[in-house]
Amino acid sequence: MPHPLITQSDIDTYQRDGVVLVKGLFADHIDALRAGVARNMAHPGPFASENEKAGESGRFFDDYCNWQSIPEFRQVIETSPAAEVAANLMQSESVQVFHDHVLVKEPGTSMATPWHTDGPYYFVEGRQNISFWSPLDPVSEATLRMVAGSHKWEKPVLPTRWVSEESFFPNEDDYMPIPDPDAEGMTVLEWAMEPGDAVAFNYDILHGARGNTSDIQRRAFSLRLVGDDARYVERPGRTSPPFPDHGMQTGQRLREDWFPVIWRAER
């Protein structure tokens, strides 16, 4: 039986489309996540970025890989239903933490999150993976936008640097150019969401977000998890996140002392 927050139809949708809305995934953890974001912004980690782009107004803060030093994030990762829901949606017998990601757009932030897929930036491959993107403020205009089914496209989408739009790796020809889903008439999924709702999406789903022209903050917490078939893969340069000195080799499972298993199926 799936966790009560989801149905078999949600699992089928995730397997087919690579994206599904999970209402209330972090509903019991909103205060903890808000406190964690506040702690993160007060003490940014070594990879924090302000995404300052010429001509853009407002503030777009993002940071990742801090959950081990933010007790509120650790507690949510270890006690929320996210691990079990991830196992159900990925159809996996185990769930490992990959990393946390915080993305805050202050009111009046004009910069859009460019269309991208996360997979090519990461050093992990496999079908069983999931991100839960959860707003900690009510969100409509600045919600996440996704192209369903894009995780099954033949070629990966070119990873670029968000601010300069330059290619992230030197092997540009191995990727397809970044599509413009609005201009190309693709169906874009997006939901107005309440704090604690979550969009679950595969690492290879094309997604982006508008700026935040509203007069309230748009705080978002993304939790990235992997399942049974996740394996380390070498990329043609420093990945994002980089995890310096991880010491893994292509084909290995992610090391459990850095990427702990938070859920296993009962046998």
Ligand X SMILES: O=C(O)CCC(=O)C(=O)O
In the complex, which residues of this chain contact ligand X (CB under 6 A)?
Answer: 101, 103, 113, 118, 131, 133, 144, 207, 209, 220, 222
- Residue 190's alpha-carbon distances to 68, 198, 219, in angstroms, are 31, 12, 17
Closest separation in Å from C-beta 32 to ligand X: 19
Closest separation in Å from C-beta 167 to ligand X: 18
Computed on alpha carbons and rounded to an integer, the radius of gyration of the chain in Å comes to 17
Tokens of 42: 């007060």
Which of 200, 193, 192, 222 has its CA nearest to residue 84? 200
Q: Which is nearer to ligand X, 59 or 207 (CB)?
A: 207
Q: Which is nearer to ligand X, 116 or 264 (CB)?
A: 116
Closest separation in Å from C-beta 222 to ligand X: 4
The phi-psi region of residue 40 (left if phi > 0; otherwise alpha if psi is between -120 and 50; otherwise beta) is: alpha
Closest separation in Å from C-beta 219 to ligand X: 9
- Residue 171's alpha-carbon distances to 124, 154, 159, 164, 176, in angstroms, are 18, 17, 10, 17, 11
Q: Which is nearer to ligand X, 80 or 113 (CB)?
A: 113
Q: Which is nearer to ligand X, 2 or 58 (CB)?
A: 58
Task: Give dist(CA 199, CA 25) in Å, integer.
Answer: 9
Closest separation in Å from C-beta 112 to ligand X: 8
Q: Which is nearer to ligand X, 117 or 265 (CB)?
A: 117
Tokens of 152: 């099954």
